[in-house]
Amino acid sequence: MVDPSAVSRARGCLLGLGIGDALGAPAENLSRREIQQRWGGVSDFLTDQVIGTDDSEYAAFIGDLLLQHGRDLTVADVVAAYAERVLPLEVQRGAGFSELGAVENLRRGWRPPGSGAHLHPWSDGVAMRAAVHGVFAAGDPEEAARLVSLESSVSASGEGVYAGVLVAATVAALLTGADLDVALDHAQSLLPQESWTVASVTRVRAIDDPDAALEAVVSPRFPWTDLAPEAVALAVWAALRHPDDYRVCVTGAVELGRDADTIAAIAGAMVGARVGEEGIPATWRDRLGPLTGRCLGETVRGVRLEELAEQLLAVGGR
């Protein structure tokens, strides 16, 4: 029998990811100032369409692999799943740079680690989906780190993988009731201490002001917003500011702008794992429907993230 509090945390984690993703999607690639000018701040969904993006759909895709293969998951299993379920898609609507780059490399016949050695290995595409590994390996951050490192070798390398490890390991600890600071300390200890990811996360943990957090980690002359060390650091900043208030955490994450859907998805997964399903506003939970498949098509269409969370917890705990 799975402990009910663990079930609530697991459901809260992936609901938190999905709701954060949908909340942030309309603000993606906007600046903090542009969001304030357009909406005057964020307190609820910004449009009538509550739809998850590639963040939620890739989480479901990888989560299903964990259900199929469990702790015996291999790189070959991940490559085979991409070949069967992703490569045949003519269009991946809204997919990130790292996933698109990996798909092109796989189509050329490249295999990991070569498939993840493209121009955008530092993308936050791994971090956005990494919470599923933490739910599966609840209470075992090292196993969550191992699984996400293995899985992500297909689509990323270096900082892109490190950011995913930080998210997965943190969630794994939070699922068993760990304090967020303690969970982050341990997750950071699993990474190369000289890494960009560790440096960025360490920097924002000492900052209270949102503008100062942005200034500390954003590269102002770089054209893209999906840098994994930046997105994960900003998500950590939002989660640490309001670790027990899901609503304030994710709306604050969206208000940061940049890769707003991913920042809010990661922050939402962390705080959702901490407060449980009941800590997420019921009206928001009710509005988050099944995945539409807008990015990955039939392979994830109809998946409900909260149900996936329960399945991952049950299979991972065997």
* Binding residue positions for Mg(2+): 53-55, 259, 261-262
Tokens in use for 300? Answer: 């994830």
Q: What CA dihedral angle connects 198, 202, 207 and 213, to 10 degrees? A: -10
Pairwise CA distance, residues 223 & 87, whole Å? 28
Identify the sign of the CA torsion 113, 301, 53, 18.
negative
One-letter identity of residue 240: L
Q: Which residues of 59-91 are buried (b: 16+ CB within 10 A; e: fewer)?
A: bbbbbbbbbeeeeebebebbbebbeebbeebee
Cα→Cα distances 192→68, 99, 199, Å = 31, 24, 10
Q: CA distances (Å), 296 to each of 80, 130, 160, 317, in order?
A: 15, 17, 21, 28
Question: In sequence order, what DSSP letters do the residues of 116-159 get, joined into one string?
Answer: G-SS-TTBTTTTTTTHHHHHHTTT-HHHHHHHHHHHHTTT--TH
Q: E-strand spans in the chain?
A: none
Annotated binding site: 53-55, 259, 261-262
- Please tell me the distance from the alpha carbon of residue 318 to that of residue 297, in angstroms, as a whole number: 30
Q: How far apart are CA 140 and CA 231, in angstroms?
A: 24
Return d(Cα 236, Cα 267) in angstroms, integer: 6
> What residue type is assigned to position 13 of the chain?
C
Query: Are 229 and 216 contacting, i.e. CB atoms less than 8 angstroms apart?
Result: no
> What's the CA gap between 128 and 17, in Å, rounded?
8
